[in-house]
């Protein structure tokens, strides 16, 4: 059995490719999205109970390899996967799409984390398009002098910024629609998620000359890494 961690597009593509090759796959989703896109093959939803719980699950289910295909900002499960793999001797691969890179015409500013982004934001504009996900919104809740257009998949829990408009939507997003949204604001805030699912906002910001505040990816444990699904498929098949 192969355990795939994560509900990303790459995780779903990997599950589909492996099931097509008659590899038994269990995809594990965190359960933080109300209506996730489900991959093919077996699916489990919810946490494992920390490192020890994940290690026990690997042993009990005779897992032959783990692919961590979680979101680039899913720090906790990434760290737990690395520790559990070391404890059990199960091979671990990190499937991580490359981060975004600025292109000519981009006006990018970098932040180390959400708190750092909140500190730098007032210097960049008064009207903000915030696309960092619902769990990170408390970092911006104290910025009473700014107005936020907040986009996320599911309704967020408070605290939220005092002045905001909420947009519930799920990617992929088209450039024309992103242009309309960005015309309403001064600055875009995003995590360096990478990939094409949500990259249209960066293209729109470039065309409009809008500044973009980009939150850097957190460090991950050192482990063998693949950047593409075909690379991950080959790694699994060699196991």
Q: Which residues contact 26 (CB under 8 A, 6 or more apart)?
A: 1, 2, 3, 4, 41, 42, 43, 44, 61
What's the number of domains the chain is made of?
2
111, 211: one domain: yes
> So what's the pLDDT on residue 21?
96
> So what's the pLDDT on residue 29?
93
Look-up: residue for tokens 């692919």? 67
> So what's the pLDDT on residue 14?
97
Range of the domain at 144: 107-215
Q: What angle do CA 32, 34, 173 make, to 5 degrees?
A: 95
Please count the residues of the chain: 239
> So what's the pLDDT on residue 186?
98
Cβ contact 10:97 at 8 Å: yes
| Assigned domain for 102 exists | no
Q: What angle do CA 48, 53, 55 make, to 5 degrees?
A: 110
Query: Global pTM?
Result: 0.89
| Assigned domain for 205 exists | yes
């Amino acid at each position: 059995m192969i355990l795939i961690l994560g509900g990303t597009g790459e995780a779903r593509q990997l599950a589909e490719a492996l099931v097509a090759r008659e590899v038994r796959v269990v995809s594990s989703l965190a359960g933080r999205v109300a209506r996730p896109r489900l991959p093919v093959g077996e699916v489990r939803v919810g946490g494992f109970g920390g490192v020890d719980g994940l290690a026990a699950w690997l042993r009990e289910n005779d897992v032959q390899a783990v692919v961590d295909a979680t979101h680039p900002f899913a720090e906790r499960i990434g760290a737990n996967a690395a520790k559990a793999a070391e404890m059990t001797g199960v091979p671990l691969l990190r499937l991580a799409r490359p981060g975004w890179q600025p292109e000519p015409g981009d006006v990018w500013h970098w932040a180390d984390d959400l708190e750092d982004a909140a500190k730098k934001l007032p210097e960049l504009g008064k009207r903000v398009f915030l696309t960092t996900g619902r769990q990170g919104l408390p970092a911006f809740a104290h910025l009473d002098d700014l107005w936020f257009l907040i986009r996320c998949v599911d309704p967020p829990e408070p605290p939220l910024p005092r002045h905001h408009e909420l947009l519930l939507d799920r990617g992929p997003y088209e450039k024309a629609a992103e242009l309309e949204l960005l015309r309403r604001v001064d600055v875009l805030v995003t995590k360096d998620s990478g990939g094409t699912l949500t990259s249209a906002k960066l293209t729109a910001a470039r065309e409009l000359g809008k500044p973009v505040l980009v939150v850097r990816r957190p460090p991950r444990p050192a482990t063998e890494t693949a950047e593409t699904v075909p690379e991950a498929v080959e790694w699994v098949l060699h196991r």
